[in-house]
Structure 1
Amino acid sequence: MPAVMAPKYRNHLPHLDPNRKPFLAEGGLETDLIFRKGVTLPHFAAFTLLDTPEGTQTLRDCYTPYIHLARRHRTGLILQTPTWRLSEPWARRLNYNEPAEKVIYASRESVELLESLRDEFETEETPIVISGSLGSLADAYKSTHDTSSLNGPATARSQISALAAAGVDMLALMTTSSPTEAIAIIELARDAGLPITVSFSLEADGTLLGNREFGIALSHVDGATDKYASYFGINCAHPSHFLPVLRTMHPDQRKRIGLIRANASEKSHKELDNSAVLERGDVEALAESYKEICELLPRVMVVGGCCGTDEEHVAAIAEKVLGKIEED
């Protein structure tokens, strides 16, 4: 493992400042690459593009519109590394001969790419936080993956160690549906000395896979980890799926939700999995729903998009949450 790089914002993540307006995040990187840019991504693994200079440039081109959008809104930006599928189990499924080495290499390349963007575009008004993206070790849309074989520290520690060594400012477990997995990953983040957010994927009825109640899951994870997570999030679900749940959640649970990255489409995960076309949904209606979400949640710190969304969706969301851009 190479020497650990010093992250720029590890001890003072700027989006946690209660005096700052919400930061932006990207839209759905993988669906954008597959459906709009015609890129083949086996198992939705965007990190595979780092294998070639052309692929790396494609990733760079995906991130830059969001940087420009954040700068126009005079707010910060959370850039996620394209490493959602980079754990060793997924690297083995992708037939890499040396999965452990691939995790180290792709983590370093991912962070170097985002650092180059930060060096070029960051301003005092627009700080750019590099977030190391972690995904579920199984398929979060089909398995509750609560078994120790999938959630043992050995299967995720290598990726977290690699991202920490590469110099990420924080970690983000995205699209999990398992409180057990969330607890295990949070403890690994604590061991690595990195802040972390955990974002859950919800079903069309607003529950976690297996009919588990979202609010109870948040309280359970917080109780088991002494509230180590900086905040929780919701991603890969349409607001129509989770707004009814937010309206009835306990205020203390709502205070712990700081990230919203919704899907463009109202379709279920199963319907989206079986769709051969991009489901972009209603851009304006999606953005409008973010207004109510932010009224319900007192500590929203990051807004962006997930499956089916792109810079147009995030621009519309930003206008509803942050207001119209004031031209100089």
Structure 2
Amino acid sequence: MSSLTPASALTSEDALYLAYFGMETDLVFTQGVELPGFASFPLLETPEGRRLLSGYAQGVVDIARRHGTGALLDTCTWVASPERAAALGYSSADLSRVYRDAVALVAKVRDDNPCVTALLSAQIGPRDDGYAHDALMTAAEAQDYHQVQVAALGDAGAEVLMAATIGSVDEALGLVRAARDCDLPVLMSFTLGTDGLLPDGSTLGDAIDAVDRGTEAFALGYLINCVHPDHLTGVLAGTWVERVRGVVANASRKTHEELDNAAELDSGDPIELGEQLAVLRAHHPHLTVLGGCCGTSMEHMTSIASQGRSRLA
């Protein structure tokens, strides 16, 4: 990596970085790939699986190059935590290899595309369902549970930790503390519902304030994921709002329950999604990360990059 650091990259208001959280829904609904436990990391085990994973990272890089943006290249380790991986037959030794291979895969894509500014982003998800709030941990329990994965991803060469689809304040606190203990920069991305609240019932502002207070504001910033821009009306308001660094939006306006029970993918309107995120970025220039979550594809990412970048011009 160059002298550019995650902090300098993501806090510059003239920058725009693309983030793609929609890989798993695209694999299942569009590519017809079975993902037991909704886990993509087992694809690392086969040449065809690695080709698929590399293709998504390359797709984001290609869009970034065409539209003059940066890219966050996320690893496929969203559900590669001890309990969720054990259910798929992976031991702790297996996971150590997974973490190294996952970071190496996105690092190769970056190395093959030196003209694009990209950060190696190690994705880590919640212990349980990111939409649920019935299996909550204390902050100490969350820190203990996630510490091994955070440390291993940092040792594997990740440059920033992407804590994605986190639905409770306590789990967020534990994750940020684990990242702080490993001196690994972290972006904390909260799941919001159509009501604008976290699954544990917290407001976004209260969640950010609590995590910042409990970690001496260690996180680089916060993202919002798994929500359509329509449902952010009135949410981005408060003294804490400049701590929000990005929105990784759902294509669909449906509730999480409706999406969980859907037999078909709701891909929404890619052009409209790009327009709405660009308007958010124009109103809130501290949003330096834009991207797509559930139901999005490279078509959505192209629209987000094109329209988000034009608003910066």
Instruction: Name the TM-score, length of structure 2 as normaliser.
Output: 0.94
1:167 aligns with: 157
Counterpart contact for 1:257–1:297, Cα < 8 Å: no
Counterpart contact for 1:103–1:158, Cα < 8 Å: no
Question: Do structure 1's residue 83 and structure 2's residue 61 form an aligned pair?
Answer: no
The CA distance in 1 between the partners of 2:142 and 2:296, in whole Å, is: 33
The correspondence of residues 294-309 of structure 1 with structure 2, limited to 5 A, is: 294-309=281-296
Question: Do structure 1's residue 135 and structure 2's residue 125 form an aligned pair?
Answer: yes
What is the SS of the residue equivalent to 1:56? helix
Select 1:107's aligned residue among 99, 110, 116: 99
The CA distance in 1 between the partners of 2:72 and 2:5, in whole Å, is: 16
The CA distance in 2 between the partners of 1:308 and 1:152, in whole Å, is: 29
1:197 to partner: Cα distance? 0.6
1:9 to partner: Cα distance? 6.7
- The 1:19–1:277 alpha-carbon spacing in structure 2 relative to 1, beyond 3 Å, is closer
1:215 aligns with: 205
Question: Do structure 1's residue 69 and structure 2's residue 59 form an aligned pair?
Answer: no
- The 1:143–1:303 alpha-carbon spacing in structure 2 relative to 1, beyond 3 Å, is same
- The 1:285–1:12 alpha-carbon spacing in structure 2 relative to 1, beyond 3 Å, is closer
1:295 to partner: Cα distance? 3.0
The CA distance in 1 between the partners of 2:3 and 2:37, in whole Å, is: 31
The correspondence of residues 147-296 of structure 1 with structure 2, limited to 5 A, is: 147-148=137-138, 151-246=141-236, 249-250=237-238, 252-296=239-283
Write the letter of the residue equivalent to 2:247.
I
- The 1:9–1:189 alpha-carbon spacing in structure 2 relative to 1, beyond 3 Å, is farther
Q: Cα deviations across residues 220-253 of structure 1 (Å, max 9, x unaligned)?
A: 111111111001000111111223322xx21x32
1:94 aligns with: 88
What is the SS of the residue equivalent to 1:300? coil
- The 1:48–1:13 alpha-carbon spacing in structure 2 relative to 1, beyond 3 Å, is same
Write the letter of the residue equivalent to 1:52.
T
Identity of aligned pairs, percent? 35
1:143 to partner: Cα distance? 2.2
What is the SS of the residue equivalent to 2:235? helix
Counterpart contact for 1:260–1:303, Cα < 8 Å: yes
1:3 aligns with: none
- The 1:232–1:19 alpha-carbon spacing in structure 2 relative to 1, beyond 3 Å, is closer
1:26 to partner: Cα distance? 2.3
Large movers: runs of 4+ above 2 Å: 7-17, 143-154, 295-298
Instruction: Say how many residue pairs are matched.
Output: 313
- The 1:85–1:323 alpha-carbon spacing in structure 2 relative to 1, beyond 3 Å, is same
- The 1:146–1:8 alpha-carbon spacing in structure 2 relative to 1, beyond 3 Å, is farther
1:188 to partner: Cα distance? 0.7
Q: Cα deviations across residues 256-278 of structure 1 (Å, max 9, x unaligned)?
A: 11021000000011000001111
Counterpart contact for 1:145–1:178, Cα < 8 Å: no
- The 1:57–1:150 alpha-carbon spacing in structure 2 relative to 1, beyond 3 Å, is farther
Write the letter of the residue equivalent to 1:225.
T
Write the letter of the residue equivalent to 1:42.
P
1:134 to partner: Cα distance? 0.6
Counterpart contact for 1:238–1:262, Cα < 8 Å: yes
Q: Cα deviations across residues 280-310 of structure 1 (Å, max 9, x unaligned)?
A: 0111221121123113323111111000001
What is the SS of the residue equivalent to 2:222? strand
The CA distance in 1 between the partners of 2:110 and 2:202, in whole Å, is: 39
1:31 aligns with: 25
1:8 to partner: Cα distance? 6.3
1:102 to partner: Cα distance? 2.3
Q: Please, which runs of 5 or more residues in structure 1 have no aligned partner?
A: 1-6
1:121 aligns with: 113
Q: Which moved more, 1:206-215 or 1:139-148?
A: 139-148
1:13 to partner: Cα distance? 4.4
1:150 to partner: Cα distance? 8.7
Q: Cα deviations across residues 163-222 of structure 1 (Å, max 9, x unaligned)?
A: 011100010110011111111111110110110010000111101113321111111111
The CA distance in 2 between the partners of 1:296 and 1:80, in whole Å, is: 27
Select 2:300's aligned residue among 304, 307, 313: 313
